[in-house]
Structure 1
Amino acid sequence: MKKILLLLFLPFLNYAQDKPIVDIGGALRYNYLYTSWNGDQKDIGGDFVYDIFRVNAEARYKGVYLNAEYREYSPAFGGGFMKSGWMGYSFNEKEDIHIGLTQVPFGIQEYNSFNWFFNLTYYTGLEDDHDMGVKYMNKGEKFEYQLAFFKGSELFDLGGASEVSSNRYAYDIVGRNKEINQFNGKFVYKTGEKFKHRIGLSAQYGGLYNIDTKEVGNHSAFALHHEVFHKRWNLKTSLITARHNPINALGQSREVVQMGAYGFPYEVASDYEMYTAAISYNLPVSLGPISNLKFYNDFGYMDKQASGFKNTAMNVTGVLVMAGDMYIYVDYAAGYNHSWFGGNFTNELGEGNPNLGWEARFNINFGYYFLTDNKSR
């Protein structure tokens, strides 16, 4: 316990930096979309709509630093909420600690994809997830590892009886179950010169507290992931297994869990294997303000374990156009039994529908990213 307290309060005992540094940035984004399943939208040639306005804040003073991002979506997509917000401290060039709403160390990061839609992992809470807890990171030349404990996902109401809201950026368990006391570990081995490899193993295990039964079930996920860089090429692959064991009230299925984000909850199969592959190629150009084109294809497949459940697939082909501080994603995204691609939104990632075929969405996201680090998405 003494060592833990020392880690938490060590930032306030080291005063290497005398002057505070504060950076404020953000982004404004819009979407043009044309979908295969919306007849009314086809009649008007698609929609051009507001996506988000976001604000990023970074600060550093006397060795302690802050990183936060607040996003404002339209009311139809959850309105405003935090994506992330944490305080940190660097012990040295290799070691850091984060406390607050920080990214969960699981799988390929920062993203397991290249496109604007992310990969299928995002829609089941296993890509770019952020939860409330503490995370330790150690990054060496050959090895990296992260260890974390999360008390829960981002919550807006206190007490065990309060349902988890779907108004959030990343997908978490919502409704009558809530994620509690989750442990994460991630290990990456780095090797190669001409072909640079990042070979990793991730694991997470936590509780699922049920509001009705007041009992705690569990959930777990394990991933083997590999990323390789060669000249302008980047390839990402992962194998994932996930299990959810909620202790629901009598009559409620345990073969699905409810997950939510952007104000919309839906069912996800409790047990599944997932396979993903993403590849990209960077092409430097000089076309007016355009300096680079990144071509990519991202694929994900979800093999559900419950009898009679229909599997889910997703594929996105596109190009990212970089022009100064403007990032333009041009994507052709297709999905089969995927809640965000036509059909019945609530259960396609759960039991699924045997009568559904592939549906597609052509999407152009226009984003201007100002000041700070120009991170897209």
Structure 2
Amino acid sequence: MKAIFRFTHFFLFIFMLLPDISVYGQGTDDDYLKIGGAVRFNIIQTWYESEPSQLNTAMTWDTWRLNIDARKSGIDLSFEYRFYPTFGTHFIHHGYMGYGFSDKLYMSLGVSQVPFGIQPFASHSWWFQGPYYVGLEDDYDMGIKFDYQATDKLKLSFAYFRQAEPEGPFAGGNVTFGNSGPGRYSYDIIPGSGGHYLPSTGTIETVDADIRELDHFNFRAAYQLKPGIEVGASAQLGSIYNSSLNKSKAATAFAAHIDATEGRWNFKGEFVSYNYQALDNSGLKLDLVQMGAYGSAYDVAAKANMYVAGLAYSIPVDFGPVTSLQAYLDYTLIDKLQDAFADTHHLIPGCMIAAGNIYMYVDYAMGKNQPWLTDTFGKGLGMGDPKADWNKRLNINIGYYF
């Protein structure tokens, strides 16, 4: 009941701020149904901690997906479902109903992208940036969102998300990628376990923690300083609920960003600070929480600051079907606020090649304590290893989008 009370008052407040709402239903001439999708493959070669073998080079079926977009009587539907054969899982990416109350105000109800940070991505590469791996880039949750074009230069987003998006099954997949966990596109806190740092031994004590995300409120403001240059700020306030204790702790995240395009250059910069306060089943505060996606779970430091920067240069070309190249360099430093935990570095130089419906990302991914760039999957975002070396992976992702 408390959550419903907060939900109602939150959106009453929003509508008080937006007095000029008028119905903006679309006519039947605008009705449509579009069906699309994509098929993507990965070619990889890795240089991690272990000695190289012939298995360090492989080709995998990354994903295939189905998209449906429709409008009927002014009500929109957008839906995407993904299948990941390598991980043995499949799940909803997004699925929401949308309605334009006016030419300024649009509502999305269902599983939609959380309005936080640079939209739609803080990254240029196939790998995303560091915030993605802690649920703060291209995150999708279940709830209601309002996007409001306040002026020609200012766009505001308000949202309430009751919970994470639905989970898909996990059928084993590639055993390289850790333990069983939720089949999900974006990372969310999951029940199972957490961790306490023990200063006396310098180790982590693993404990039971039946925790999950509930009742998240989001606010995002983006302002166009001039054409091509956007600055903005985001806030997320929610709770991490322990079902064994029937108690919640507040979880917060804040971001400031700039997304600037000048000619062929684009720069994306972002500062993110989060504090995932959570309790274990005995009521003690956790230093590590577990997050999961793609059928795998890993430990994440409960609080950290992130420094994100990406630079890209686009080159139009006329070479057969190839029409453009975009060279880029993306970097994230994750500064964990527990002094004993080692920082995470995420560095992705690469190039995106566009040819008709085909998009190919050629990335030379490098990381220290990066959870996917290691033989010991998922270890880097927890306590980490202060002596970790740079691991490397050549990753070529080829996708046909239709």
TM over 0.5: same fold?
Answer: yes
Q: Does 1:177 align with 2:193?
A: no
Alignment of 1:333-348 (within 5 A): 333-348=365-380
Q: Which amino acid aligns with 1:115?
A: S
The 1:18–1:221 alpha-carbon spacing in structure 2 relative to 1, beyond 3 Å, is same
For 1:328, the equivalent position in structure 2 comes to 360
For 1:174-253, what aligned pairs fall within 5 Å after superposition?
A: 174-175=190-191, 176-193=210-227, 196-250=228-282
C-alpha distance in structure 2 between counterparts of 1:24 and 1:363, whole Å = 29
Offset at residue 246 of structure 1 (A): 0.6
Counterpart pick for 1:83 among 77, 93, 103: 93
Decide which of 132, 137, 145 is 2:147's aligned counterpart: 137
Decide which of 245, 248, 256 is 2:288's aligned counterpart.
Answer: 256
Read off the aligned partner of 1:81 and give its amino acid letter.
F
* Distance of 1:313 and 1:248 partners within structure 2: 28
Which structure 2 residue ranges, 5 or more long, are not aligned? 1-7, 16-20, 169-179, 192-209
1:253 to partner: Cα distance: 6.2
Instruction: Check if 1:21 corresponds to 2:47.
Output: no
- Amino acid in structure 2 at the alignment position of 1:279: L
- 1:309-367, CA deviations, whole angstroms, 9 ceiling, x for partnerless residues? 10101000000000010000000000101110114324310111123211011000010
User: 1:10-60 CA distances to partner (integer Å, 9 max, x unpaired)?
Assistant: 999946325631000000000000010275764256001101010110000
Pair 1:63 & 2:95 matched: no
* Preserved CA contact (<8 Å) 1:103 1:128: yes
- What secondary structure sits across from 2:28 in the alignment? coil
Q: Is the 8 A contact 1:339 1:348 kept in 2?
A: yes
RMSD: 2.3
Alignment correspondent of 1:285:
317
Change (3 A) 1:44 1:248: closer
Cα distance change on mapping 1:78 and 1:145 into 2, 3 Å:
farther
Asked whether the 8 Å contact 1:201–1:225 carries over to 2, the reply is yes
Q: Secondary structure at the match of 1:166?
A: coil
- How far apart in 2 are the matches of 1:170 and 1:26? 19
Structure 1 letter corresponding to 2:33: V
In structure 2, which of residues 113, 124, 143 is the aligned counterpart of residue 103 of structure 1?
A: 113
**TM-score, normalised via structure 1 length:** 0.89
Residue 194 of structure 2 aligns with which residue? none
Contact 1:15 1:62 (C-alpha < 8 Å) held by counterparts: yes
Change (3 A) 1:219 1:14: same
Aligned equivalents of 1:251 and 1:180: distance in 2?
Answer: 18
Contact 1:34–1:42 (Cα < 8 Å) also in 2: no
What letter corresponds to residue 161 of structure 2 in structure 1? F
**1-side partners of 2:24 and 2:122: how far apart?**
37
Aligned pair 1:128/2:128, yes or no? no
**Secondary structure of 1:300's partner?**
strand
Secondary structure in 1 aligned to 2:116? coil
Q: Which amino acid counterpart does residue 166 of structure 1 have in structure 2?
A: P
Q: Aligned letter for 1:168? A: R
Distance 1:55 1:251, change over 3 A: same
| Counterpart residue identity of residue 284, structure 1 | P
| Cα distance between partner residues in 2 of 1:294 and 1:222 | 30
User: Offset of 1:92 from its aligned partner?
Assistant: 2.5
Quickly say closer, same or farther: Cα 1:41–1:66, change in 2 above 3 A: farther
The match for 1:301 among 323, 333, 343 is 333
Secondary structure, in 3 states, of the residue corresponding to 1:109? coil
Corresponding letter in the other structure for 2:220: K
- Pairing partner for 1:37 from 44, 48, 52: 48
Looking at structure 1, the residues matched to 27 and 141 of structure 2 have their Cα atoms a distance apart, in angstroms, of 30
For residue 112 of structure 2, what is the amino acid of its counterpart? T
Once residues 306 and 367 of structure 2 are traced to their aligned partners in structure 1, the CA distance between those partners, rounded to angstroms, is: 15
In structure 1, what is the Cα distance between the partners aligned to 2:167 and 2:367? 32
CA contact 2:31–2:74 (8 Å) conserved in 1: no
Q: Could you tell me which amino acid in structure 2 is paired with residue 46 of structure 1?
A: T
Q: Aligned partner of 1:318: which letter?
A: G
Q: What whole-Å deviation, never above 9, does each CA across 1:78-134 have from its counterpart, x for those lacking one?
A: 511001011001122222100000000000011000000101111010100000000
Contact 1:133–1:151 (8 Å) recurs in 2: yes
The number of aligned residues is 357
Unaligned runs of 5+ in 1: 158-163, 371-377
In structure 1, how many angstroms separate the alpha carbons of the residues matched to 2:190 and 2:259? 32
CA distance in 2, matches of 1:225, 1:346: 27
TM-score (norm 2): 0.84
CA contact 1:29–1:365 (8 Å) conserved in 2 = yes
Which residue is 1:374 aligned to? none
The one of 82, 98, 104 equivalent to 1:94 is: 104
Q: Deviations over 1:168-209 (max 9, x none)?
A: 00001112211100000000110224xx31010000010111
Whether the aligned pair in 2 keeps the contact of 1:155 and 1:165 (CA below 8 Å) is: no
**Equivalent-residue separation in structure 2 for 1:123 and 1:308 (angstroms):** 20
Give 2:299's aligned residue. Answer: 267
